[in-house]
Amino acid sequence: MPSTEKDFLTVCGGCNAKIGAGNLAAILKSLPRPKKSDRLLVGYNSDDDAAVYKIDDQTAIIQTLDFFPSMVTDPYLFGKIAATNALSDVFAMGGDVVTCLNIVCFPEDSNMKILEQILKGGAEKVKEAGGILAGGHSIHDHRAKYGLSVMGKVAPDKILRNDNVQDGDVLILTKPLGVGIIVPAYNTGQVDEEAFKAATDSMTTLNKYAADIMRDYPVDSCTDITGFGLAGHLTEMLHGEYQARLTAENIPMIPEAYECAGEFLTTAGGQRNRDFLGKRIDFTFDDYALQEVLFDPQTSGGLLIAVQPQYADVMMNRLKKLTTRSAVIGKITKKDPNDQTEIIVD
């Protein structure tokens, strides 16, 4: 149900509203470190997707939250996108969703029917993910924002971290890139309805289905692609010790996103990601549009999976049956300590 209130449109919404990696890292370094705990398996000192706390030898709790302003005019669609994005961290870490709490900011003088549609969209995605919507918290704000606090569970020995890649791993991406470019371009009349639908279909597809397949194979590392773009989240996986070589022609993307990037219809978030990575990424050929797509902040992006090479083909055969387009995009090698380059794009 599209909104009739023009002020509901927020071009700089979704994960494009995320604080840049460089600024965020500087802030976090200045904060006092929390007390160490043997039960906190993944926490404050990690760049991982969520926190993980061990309850016992069989169960660990995954805790995450995500919310942002809208990037679309349809409140029901916004609710689905925001919830799908928030739920993704649990799937990226190999877990199952248990409970969720709504996080709501909404203008005091706005139409409450809009908020009802946002919450309806979010609730449907929580149910699809297998979780229980257990409550939430709301405040008045000048701009609508929505997301979820999510609790998941995983066996302690089955946790998938984003920084455990191994030499020889094959990289698989489970959704096409470019949604961060497409949505604002659509909002300003630069791309058609078909391109917009491709973006929103991707953003409302749960990573649960790719994660269900991933669990059947010896995956070394996984993350989901969100505000730091493919390039930024891949450098987190490499953590300065490994190097990734990507094959440009294999990287899935929405075609119109590449065309928009070539016409300099890009985002501020993409520029922040480019500035942060600097010389850590080497494009071996000149293609500005491709670069922008790799830096593009993704809202509810796909999983980036590092799997042992002997299992890549069989995993891909199953991933190809899903509605989103997956692809083998590169491989991992050990990095020369004297080499600044972490990602090479051929």
Q: What is the structure's pLDDT at 1? A: 38
Write out residues in the chain with pLDDT < 70, as ranges.
1-26, 28-29, 34, 44-48
Q: What is the structure's pLDDT at 9? A: 36
Which CATH architecture fits 6-156?
2-Layer Sandwich (3.30)
From the list 12, 15, 100, 105, the catalytic residue is 15
The tens digit of pLDDT for each residue in 108-153 reads: 998 999 999 999 999 999 999 999 999 999 999 999 999 999 999 9
Q: What is the structure's pLDDT at 11? A: 44
Is pTM, for the whole model, over 0.85?
yes
Supply the DSSP string of 196-261, one letter for each residue: HHHHHHHHTS-THHHHHHHTTS-EEEEEE--TTHHHHHHHHHHTTTEEEEE-GGGS-B-HHHHHHH
Cα separation, 146 vs 131, in Å, equals 18
Q: What is the structure's pLDDT at 278? A: 85
Q: What is the structure's pLDDT at 150? A: 98
Domain 170-345 listed as CATH 3.90.650.10: yes
Residue whose token pair is 């071009």:
11
Query: CATH 3.30.1330.10 spans which residues of the chain?
Result: 6-156
Query: CATH 3.90.650.10 spans which residues of the chain?
Result: 170-345
Annotated binding site for ATP: 18, 46-48, 66, 89, 136-138
Q: What is the largest CA-CA distance in the chain?
A: 58
- Which residue blocks in the chain are alpha helix, DSSP H? 21-29, 75-92, 112-128, 179-187, 193-203, 208-214, 229-238, 255-262, 268-277, 288-295, 312-319
Annotated binding site for Mg(2+): 49, 89, 224
Tokens of 260: 């928009």
Annotated binding site: 18, 46-49, 66, 89, 136-138, 224
12 is catalytic: no
Compute the mean pLDDT over every residue in the chain, rounded to the nearest whole number.
Answer: 91
Q: What is the structure's pLDDT at 31? A: 72
The tens digit of pLDDT for each residue in 257-289 reads: 999 999 999 888 999 999 999 889 999 999 999
